Structure 1
Amino acid sequence: MRAPTILVAKGACDPGALVRRISSHDVYEFTDLTDVVGPARRAELIVIRSGTRLGADQLAALPNLRHVVRAGSGLDGIDTVLLDERGIGLHRNPEASAQAVAEWCLAALLCLARRIPLGAQGLASGDHLKAACTGTPLASANVAIWGAGPVGRAAAAILAPFVGEIVFAARPSITDLPQMPADDLPGWADVHIVALPATAENTALLDSAFLHAAAGRAPLLVVVGRLATIDTEACLQALTDGHLSGLAVDPVETADAHHFRTGPKPLNLLATPHIGAQRRDVRRRLDDWVTDTARALLLRPAAASVNELVDVRVRAAGEVASQLAEEYPSSSVWMTGPVACGFAHARSDVDLRVLFPAGPVPVLQSRIVDGVRVDLEAQAMAEVDELRGLLGQFHILGDDVDLFRTARRRLAALTVLRTARAPHHDGQPLLDEAERDVYRRWALADRIQHAISLVEDLDGLMQAGLTDAADLVARQLQTTVQQAENTAAGHPLLGDKWTPVLAAGATPSPPTGPLDQALRQARARLLAALLEVWPESAEPHGPVPSHRLEPGWLPQRYSDGWRIKRADATIRLTPGQLAAWQQAIHP
């Protein structure tokens, strides 16, 4: 019998990583499903990207399909109703690329405001259009953002220092952002950022009627969601007629390219082939997420039951959250802890955090829904804002570790915020991507520091001949190293019992060899975790003194650079010296 298959749409992820890590399945990359008819019949999982269609015809060719993995957020082209009818799971990562897309949004807006595309197109056609390239200042611009998902929120965060006022197009689901009725935005905004998914209600939402209403302000229009959300031809005509001052469009697929052929008249137009997420770190992160997700779905037979346990608890959380919204209309409710991260066991409770705009906060009692206990905790928003202040930047210097001490002391509370999301499936997280990245750095630095302390204890216990105690500490070191790897991969610190679960069953067994071997393995894994968060490309530089190769030395990364540490001894390293040290410990 031939092996089941994984299908990968070309460009969706690195198929080689799936081949290396999932040996039970054959992996096929495809441009069109008709090119892989046989493998499609055996496919249990398909990885797709924007532009891949999964309608009735395509799904009919995939009779054994169990999972669809979308390396991004968009659902356009996917028949989600038919997926539900067939019981096919849909797994997305809507946040991984949000910051990169927002970065593109900022770059595009700066280009439009300074009319750079117009000048470039003019020169390309032999015209010197300096006078026509007089720009407008962004500092006083009113910016309207259409769509409050991860990309819209990330765009607001990255644009905030450069523009005047930002509001979102009002929707009932938006409760925590400044907003304005959509009908009022054309007469108010100087800039429109469109970050909407391609749904029926959003199709051509910004149409000729919108353009007519906005013509008086001749705004800049930046599209980072889906092209279907605007009337493309109407927008291009408005740009030609001067009713738009500039147009930037990123989500241009192959079938859309004909709209943006250069015409006889230079325009302040920037169109790119859907490159918002095309950043190396984002692609690497998405590749890792796809591989980890596929492994968890295909290689863990208990995954379905775990999903059912989570589903029951999420439904209970949603029911209690609805009750709380009626009882405390000015508050916001967030699900936290393992269930919020998609993990539960048969006895798991659910944690809800209720945030109140002002104190004193009430004492809330736990509730039971369908046999599931929902624990409630009230918290003042001011306390949350104070905690989020620690997530503004990662800052540790050799002579200034006060902020690190504070972050370590508050790490449990920061982990609650890191796990917090709206209490329903695919709920919006409380923290934005930048804050989650700072949390990742604090958490990893904490685990590295803890590992250094454990190694010091281990050395002392072995010298004292306390082997039983040393064995216990060695197991703690093993757990700490795995937690460091988990945090480097983007997971929160959920507690020891969830450590192997977060690692998707990949936790190595504690080393059975000599202590030196265990320490060398820990050192190598900790360095790999640090380099995942702080990648280096420097060439090895200089000799490595032999004493630095002793297994008790562990790597650290502070804001001011690299160091290796053993007990109270610290040696600072340049990136080149680190590369030489890494090469020496991995001959």
Structure 2
Amino acid sequence: MAKPVVFVLDPYHEDAVALLQSTEWVDLVLPSDPRRASWHRDADGVILRSETRLTADDFAAAAKLRIVVKQGVGVDNIDLDAARRAGVAVHNTPALNSEAVAEFSLALAFSLARRVAEVDRRVRAGEAVRRSETLGLSLFRKTVGVVGMGNIGRVAARKWIGACEASVVGYDPVAPADAWSDLPHRRVATLPELLEVSDVVTLHVPLLPSTRGMIGAKELAAMKDNAILVNAARGGVVDEKALLEELKKGRLWGAVLDAMEVEPPTLEAYGDGLLAMDNVIMTPHIGASTRENQSNSGIAVVKTLLAVLEGKADVPGKLV
């Protein structure tokens, strides 16, 4: 019997690749292999990250494809309806990125509040920085509004409480009523209620029709003076044009974005806009990019793929 052919379409951690290479009953095709171009014809299974998009045309052309596994939670780069029509199972790795992304969302907020990136740029440019004229913003015992009460939001809330004794306000229209029953927090029924009381607004929602542009001009205007906006979720959740206009008014402390409409962020897209603002930090969607997390989540992807190819039931992370 021919071995199932597994294509790795995007770069994966060496530990995940080593696990695949040690699995003798699969035929492995890595991104550097010239055979990669033939994945539509030959693939029984595919693993990918955010770099590769799978469209309806891809699924229509994938003659043998049985399983796609995406590292991470978000699957907006995969046409799930097309996968369903083609009879292809799609899995992700929920919860595994939570610690890393939550940790990074706090790091971004602290960096902006204490003006770390701004001051570093000024020092590197040879500027004499006067401490008395470079005051930061303390986040100790402030109110943190967490939008999205899923796995990442939960971990972020816990970290804010532990690090800053923060008062946490949660908002999520679809989370169950008993969500976060183990965490001290106040849950609000509407987004405006959260925005008007939060010193930090941190976003942890997927990109859906209901969340696209959920932070627009109206919502930004409702935020407190000197508030910080953190988007470590998905580009498109924040209306970037509206954010730039609000930041130009000088009322907000600033914004930190690890997710944006153009990824990775470029000077062409943002050089005259958000990247020209001292109170903006932009990073190229690296919230989950720790050595530990990439190893753990990459191995989880491979184990999921192999389990499906072996015909096991109740494999975690199934979306389609």
TM-score (ref. length: structure 1): 0.48
Relative distance call for 1:199 and 1:256 in structure 2 (3 A) is farther
In the TM superposition, what is the alpha-carbon distance from 1:83 to its structure 2 partner?
1.5
8 Å CA contact 1:118, 1:266 repeated in 2:
no
State the Cα RMSD in Å: 2.9
In the TM superposition, what is the alpha-carbon distance from 1:60 to its structure 2 partner?
2.5
Match of 1:295 among 306, 312, 315: 306
Partner-residue secondary structure (3-state), 1:227? coil
Aligned-residue identity in percent: 26
Instruction: Find the counterpart in structure 2 of residue 26 from structure 1.
Output: 27
Instruction: Find the counterpart in structure 1 of residue 41 from structure 2.
Output: 41
Partners in 2 of 1:226 and 1:132 — Cα distance?
35
1:273 aligns with 2:284: yes
8 Å CA contact 2:108, 2:256 repeated in 1:
yes
Relative distance call for 1:123 and 1:61 in structure 2 (3 A) is farther
Partners in 1 of 2:165 and 2:19 — Cα distance?
43
* 1:449-484 superposed Cα distances (whole Å, 9 cap, x missing partner): xxxxxxxxxxxxxxxxxxxxxxxxxxxxxxxxxxxx
1:78-477 aligned within 5 A: 78-128=78-128, 130=130, 131=132, 133-161=134-162, 162-175=164-177, 176-177=179-180, 178-180=186-188, 181-214=190-223, 216-251=224-259, 254-258=263-267, 259-261=269-271, 267-298=278-309, 300-301=310-311, 303=312, 306-307=313-314
8 Å CA contact 1:83, 1:89 repeated in 2:
yes
* 1:531-564 superposed Cα distances (whole Å, 9 cap, x missing partner): xxxxxxxxxxxxxxxxxxxxxxxxxxxxxxxxxx
Relative distance call for 1:197 and 1:228 in structure 2 (3 A) is same
Partner-residue secondary structure (3-state), 2:24? coil
- Structure 2 unaligned runs (5+)? 181-185
Partners in 2 of 1:82 and 1:196 — Cα distance?
23
The answer to which structure has the higher helix fraction is 1
In the TM superposition, what is the alpha-carbon distance from 1:207 to its structure 2 partner?
1.1
| Aligned-partner residue type, residue 150 of structure 1 | N
Bigger relative contact order, structure 1 or 2, given CA contacts below 8 A and separation 6+?
A: 2
| Aligned-partner residue type, residue 29 of structure 1 | L
In the TM superposition, what is the alpha-carbon distance from 1:187 to its structure 2 partner?
1.6
Partners in 2 of 1:9 and 1:104 — Cα distance?
26
Partners in 2 of 1:208 and 1:231 — Cα distance?
7
- Structure 1 unaligned runs (5+)? 308-340, 343-423, 427-587
Partners in 2 of 1:83 and 1:222 — Cα distance?
32
In the TM superposition, what is the alpha-carbon distance from 1:123 to its structure 2 partner?
3.4
In the TM superposition, what is the alpha-carbon distance from 1:128 to its structure 2 partner?
4.4
8 Å CA contact 2:67, 2:89 repeated in 1:
yes
* 1:42-81 superposed Cα distances (whole Å, 9 cap, x missing partner): 1011111124211112222322111111111002121111
8 Å CA contact 2:92, 2:301 repeated in 1:
no
Partners in 1 of 2:229 and 2:266 — Cα distance?
18
Partners in 2 of 1:230 and 1:205 — Cα distance?
6
Partners in 2 of 1:168 and 1:137 — Cα distance?
21
Relative distance call for 1:262 and 1:133 in structure 2 (3 A) is farther
TM-score (ref. length: structure 2): 0.84
